Amino acid sequence: MFLKCMAFLLFLSSCSHFKGTRGLENENKERLLDAVQLIGEGRGRLSLSQNQYVFSFDSLLKENYDWILAVSIPLQGEEVMSLVDLRKKEVLDSETESFEARIDHEFKNLKLNKILTSKEFLNELRSVIRFNLAHKLGLKRNCMEQQKDLVCTLDEEKFFISVSGKEFNIIKLLGKGRRVVLEGRNLTESFFSQTNIRLYSNEVDFEKKNSSFSLELFWK
């Protein structure tokens, strides 16, 4: 298991240097929205400050519209994140699963709850994943062009869609410079597909790509 983790870390390093040949600027942005992967299996990495966990994972959208992410962390076992009934804008009093509890612990340990509580973050995470999966959920996004970008709404929540090179970003602003970003990478390449979820604490961190929270998913 240790050797597999080391091999995966080397893979992550190589991914950061991989350069595809095709940018996304001329692609249909609404089609790209549905190309960002959130269902399947692969390997991932959770990063909060200097703390990192690598894992294998499976994710699925159940018939009752629960989105499940099950991760297997070496030497620690399987943990689960469950976003319940994504057809609903909000769900009250959902049970906290083990992977969510890990995120909550890390938020408190790193004092990130001064920026955003883990509960608030998980609610915003639910919001951007719900937005991305809207087509599969039978929900309608409303989008309009704004210069080179798209501005979309879903149930009165606003999302900004931007493209830079091979990176496709879904951005939700949280006020005070904070934002949650869902990134899709290599959406038109056969090499691999990657989905990242990041929390930025302020505008400067966003410009420098210095995220407080990062969940990277590399799909098979």
Confidence class of residue 92 from pLDDT cuts 50, 70 and 90?
Answer: confident
* Full-model pTM: 0.86
Cα–Cα distance between 12 and 216 in angstroms, integer?
Answer: 10
Q: CA 140 → CA 23, 60, 143, distances in Å?
A: 27, 21, 10
Q: What helix, strand, coil percent values describe the chain, rounded to 5?
A: 30, 40, 35
Confidence class of residue 19 from pLDDT cuts 50, 70 and 90?
Answer: very low
Domain ranges of the chain: 23-219
Q: Which amino acid is at 2?
A: F
Supply the pLDDT for residue 62.
96
Q: Are 83 and 61 in contact (CB under 8 A)?
A: no
- For 99-155, how does the pLDDT look when each residue is reduced to its tens digit (9 = 90+)? 999 999 999 999 998 889 999 999 999 999 999 999 999 999 999 988 888 999 999
Supply the pLDDT for residue 28.
78
Render 45-104 in DSSP notation, one character per residue.
EEEETTEEEEEEEEEEE-TTS-EEEEEEETTTEEEEEEE--TTSS--SSPPPPHHHHHHH
Residue corresponding to tokens 């190589």: 14
Choose from 7-11, 24-28, 215-219 the range with maximum mean pLDDT: 215-219
